[in-house]
Structure 1
């Protein structure tokens, strides 16, 4: 029988809390034995939930690194810019790594993480959770089975959601490249990874991309609008009002994401959320923020053998992160609208619906990534317990390849030219800014 896996949570924000919840549901399989985060409230919460000893509570990852190895694995759920150093150092110490996406904010740093894990013979699982979603995994199985023949074209849309984008990418942690990373990396490396995954072993040979920041600019600020929603005379007519996005939810008893992000050091209620909107970044007018990331972007890819793919990310949608995919093959067409999966067969001219059995415990189904978070942690824990890296669907080499494709796409957008993959890639990362950041990764970016 596999042994119980002991893990340390580095970054006790909502992502760290979500992944560690698996230990509460399966205490015989995994136990959280350490936590590191400068937020005392977040650390205390995880310590109490998991019975973590005082000597294994740290204010950052350095405290873990300074101790003799006392667990099998780490969940690294720090902000994007704080991924590389703990991942590399803790891999060197022999910890298996569950790493929140993106791996890092530059191609070079991603490569260093992968090299450290390979050199030290530790498993790396990058949290491309969509690969673990049972329905999306079924798409890969159908492709591999030949259900639609030879792949010809992949069309994939990510509808971010109008209020989600305002929350995460206008007011929130991913609003500014210098503070986090560019939108395609922060928001859509999931999707480029899926396209790369569906393409199988084909190498992407060239990529082009276009995108821009629309609407959420000072030039579009309504006449008479205030700098904060609580004091704004035109707030009632604004769909991006913080009062609507946050306070209205609290009044209905909804205190999970996105409301929970506003109060990382307290329990969200009317009083604490109102105070957060009065003083914090989430109460600002969306037309008065320091955001500079793209609201809409397209990526066009050509793979070896002639397979083409087109990806679209757009902020202004009703649906929130319900991806829509059409895959055209020589013998059929696969369609997935975020709810239903079907295949149309050209020979029989019939459509077959495909369903999957989904069984999860606890609150995982209510989280932003749905059940995928559950299956991600399940695969990682099983891989570590059984010393079997084949259970991991988002391992080092393939994930590094899809991250490089994201950097190449962004290079194309910035330089207004087609990029020939692997030939003229720069170390594209976000614009740099030296600053102190919180340690926890919140789940704003689904």
Structure 2
């Protein structure tokens, strides 16, 4: 096994914080030695947590990339539109790269990232955290073992959660395509990637998609509603009230997500959260925002060999990010919900249930995939320590292919047509 892995972090926001936390749990495996972030508060927080030298704190990652190589790997956790440039630069410098998903916001940039890593001979791990969830790994294992025979159809649902969508995709950083990207790429490239994995080596041949910006539009604004929740006379009747989503949480002592997002430069308390809602984007009426990303979308795919798949993404759900999956095979049916896998065998007409227990630090990452967050960074560090890219759950080419399906699905939605993939050459 190799020596201690030295990391630099580009983007010290939510994702950067989560992955870096691994070094606190495993100081014998990892040390964070540098950080680049335009926010002084974020840099100072990282310096205090990880004892980073002053000369390794940067506002601009470009200065760090131009320096002599000072670490083994880089975590790139910048906003979506700022993924490609640092990924390419650090790969060319010889750093192994953990790149938050999506790889980039255009197909051309994704291809460039993969090409740069390949040409430089460095490992690329894209943040498709769900591939590292022990239950998802068990599903793949069951499929590969022939437990349900040949996979014929996949039905997969991502329930985003009503307040999560309002937070991230109506008021927040992913609300507007011009500032970020379309919702299917930002939120659900995870899910298309899983479908691609479950399909095995079969290539996607055709894709169609339909989706809409539903409900969060000016015509749905209640009579008498204000432009901000703190000044709204009907706020108590609105399920998307910022007071309910944020102030009620801080009153209960919650200072993590999503409060950490609306107060990125301070520790959230009643005063800072109230001020953020009074003046910032998260206090706006959900019916008066500049959101233009889909709140509900379906994607239908045809793979080689007659395999079909249907994916649904919807904002208006009680549960948050608790995926539901049914995989129909020639010899059985597999369902996955609430961390339980059930396989029904057509021959014996009996069902087997699997609950995968795993030993990981609780509350390591974001709600919905904290254990997956842990196992992803654990796998990446192990891959770097052992110089073994096989420890990364998805190779760059496969990751690129699933991204391309997402881009083509969105093209189908915009152009209202079936998109055929050209696999020639």
Partner of 2:376 in structure 1?
376
Partner of 2:85 in structure 1?
85
Partner of 1:348 in structure 2?
348
By how many angstroms is 1:66 displaced? Answer: 1.9
TM-score normalized with structure 1 length: 0.94
Partner of 1:10 in structure 2?
10
Could you tell me how far apart the structure 2 residues matched to 1:114 and 1:172 are? Answer: 29
Q: Tell me if the contact between 1:33 and 1:71 (Cα under 8 Å) persists in the aligned partners.
A: yes
By how many angstroms is 1:338 displaced? Answer: 3.0
Could you tell me how far apart the structure 1 residues matched to 2:175 and 2:394 are? Answer: 26
Question: Equivalent residue of 1:371, what SS?
Answer: helix
**Residue 122 of structure 1 pairs with residue 118 of structure 2:** no
User: C-alpha offsets along residues 137-194 of structure 1, whole Å, 9 cap, x if unaligned?
Assistant: 1110000000000100000000000000000000000000101000100010000000
Partner of 2:420 in structure 1?
420
State the structure with bigger RCO (CA 8 A, min sep 6), 1 or 2: 1
**Residue 215 of structure 1 pairs with residue 218 of structure 2:** no
Could you tell me how far apart the structure 2 residues matched to 1:233 and 1:311 are? Answer: 39
Question: Superposition pairs for residues 9-408 of structure 1, below 5 Å?
Answer: 9-361=9-361, 363-364=363-364, 367-408=367-408
By how many angstroms is 1:395 displaced? Answer: 2.5
Could you tell me how far apart the structure 1 residues matched to 2:171 and 2:137 are? Answer: 33
Q: Tell me if the contact between 1:37 and 1:61 (Cα under 8 Å) persists in the aligned partners.
A: yes
Structure 1 unaligned residues grouped into runs of 5+: 425-446
Q: Tell me if the contact between 1:148 and 1:332 (Cα under 8 Å) persists in the aligned partners.
A: yes
Could you tell me how far apart the structure 2 residues matched to 1:355 and 1:363 are? Answer: 19
Question: Equivalent residue of 1:352, what SS?
Answer: strand
Structure 2 unaligned residues grouped into runs of 5+: none
- Summarize the Cα distance change of 1:27–1:14 in structure 2 as closer, same or farther, 3 Å threshold: same
User: C-alpha offsets along residues 358-384 of structure 1, whole Å, 9 cap, x if unaligned?
Assistant: 111263166442200000000000000
User: C-alpha offsets along residues 286-323 of structure 1, whole Å, 9 cap, x if unaligned?
Assistant: 00000000000000000000000000000000010000
User: C-alpha offsets along residues 204-233 of structure 1, whole Å, 9 cap, x if unaligned?
Assistant: 000000001000000100000000000000
- Give the RMSD, CA atoms, in angstroms: 1.1
By how many angstroms is 1:339 displaced? Answer: 2.9
How many residue pairs match? The answer is: 424
By how many angstroms is 1:357 displaced? Answer: 2.6
- Summarize the Cα distance change of 1:420–1:358 in structure 2 as closer, same or farther, 3 Å threshold: same
Q: Tell me if the contact between 2:10 and 2:75 (Cα under 8 Å) persists in the aligned partners.
A: yes
By how many angstroms is 1:254 displaced? Answer: 1.0
Partner of 1:439 in structure 2?
none
Structure 1 runs (4+) greater than 3 angstroms displaced: 365-368
Could you tell me how far apart the structure 2 residues matched to 1:73 and 1:152 are? Answer: 40
By how many angstroms is 1:12 displaced? Answer: 0.2
Q: Tell me if the contact between 2:300 and 2:309 (Cα under 8 Å) persists in the aligned partners.
A: yes
